Amino acid sequence: MSESIISLKNISYKYDDQIVLDDISYDFKMGKCYCIMGPNGCGKSTLFRILNGLSFPTKGEFYFDGKLITEKYLKDENESRDFHKRIGFVFQDSEVQLFTRSVIDEVAFGLYQLGLDQKEIERRVYYYLDLLEIRHLENRAPFNLSGGEKKRVALASVFSMKPEVLILDEPLAGLDEDGQEFVLEFLKKQKSEDRLIIISTHNKELCDAVSDEIINIGKNHKIIS
């Protein structure tokens, strides 16, 4: 059995006096896809912020590949770079993560940050543009695209960096039926033994199609199954 790359140990998060997450413990293993379900306001978005090192638990411990992730730990530039290089995050609202002047620049941006050579950058960019069927949009400004096209650009930008852990917040939200079907089929094909995928969703069809385990968080901000 594979070891956990992410371990949450009695994680709680409180904002002012409001409990957002309450005593969450779970181990996430490579090669699996987990779907996290629960009502709005149960703490899913906060959990994702913690997994991405954007927020830190009020109580409990978050381990990534055996290392305790804290605000102090991520203040180390080298440790922070390594952590963020290994985790890819696709936001529910794709527009918030699109900022360059063209689709091709958007997909290439993260690859330049990884320090890849030009030939490899071009190879990955066009591979993922083709895979997501958006090569014809390469010179378009991301902000002028449809919601479904923006989602595909965001997916290409993150997947092209080949992170070990992929975290997707409501990947089917705001898409029409064809768009949902395309993204669902794409995600099914991205499962592999050397990748962990964590998805927040209200879509049962998506869970049934891709998940190895489903985690339900209740209104009480606890895991209920």
Contact 95, 173 (CB under 8 A): no
- 50 in any annotated domain: yes
- 222 in any annotated domain: no
**Nearest 5°: CA angle at 86, between 157 and 95?**
30
| pLDDT higher than threshold 60 for residue 37 | yes
- 135 in any annotated domain: yes
pLDDT range class, residue 2, cuts 50, 70, 90: low
- 221 in any annotated domain: no
Q: List pLDDT tens digits, range 73-114.
A: 999 999 999 999 999 999 988 888 889 999 999 999 999 999
Q: Give the pLDDT score at 174.
A: 87
| pLDDT higher than threshold 60 for residue 1 | no
- 186 in any annotated domain: yes
- 129 in any annotated domain: yes
Contact 26, 33 (CB under 8 A): no
pLDDT range class, residue 195, cuts 50, 70, 90: very high
- 79 in any annotated domain: yes
Domain hosting residue 83, numbered range: 4-216
Domain count across the chain:
1
- 174 in any annotated domain: yes
Q: Give, as one character, the DSSP assignment of residue 3.
A: P
Contact 153, 107 (CB under 8 A): yes
Residues 6+ apart with CB under 8 A from 184: 172, 205, 206, 209, 210
CATH number of the domain that residue 90 is part of: 3.40.50.300
Mean pLDDT of the chain: 94
Q: List pLDDT tens digits, range 132-177.
A: 999 999 999 999 999 999 999 999 999 999 999 999 999 999 899 9
Q: Give, as one character, the DSSP assignment of residue 193.
A: T
Q: Residue type at 89?
A: F
pLDDT range class, residue 17, cuts 50, 70, 90: confident
Q: Give the pLDDT score at 95.
A: 83
**Number of H-type helices and E-type strands within the chain:** 8, 9
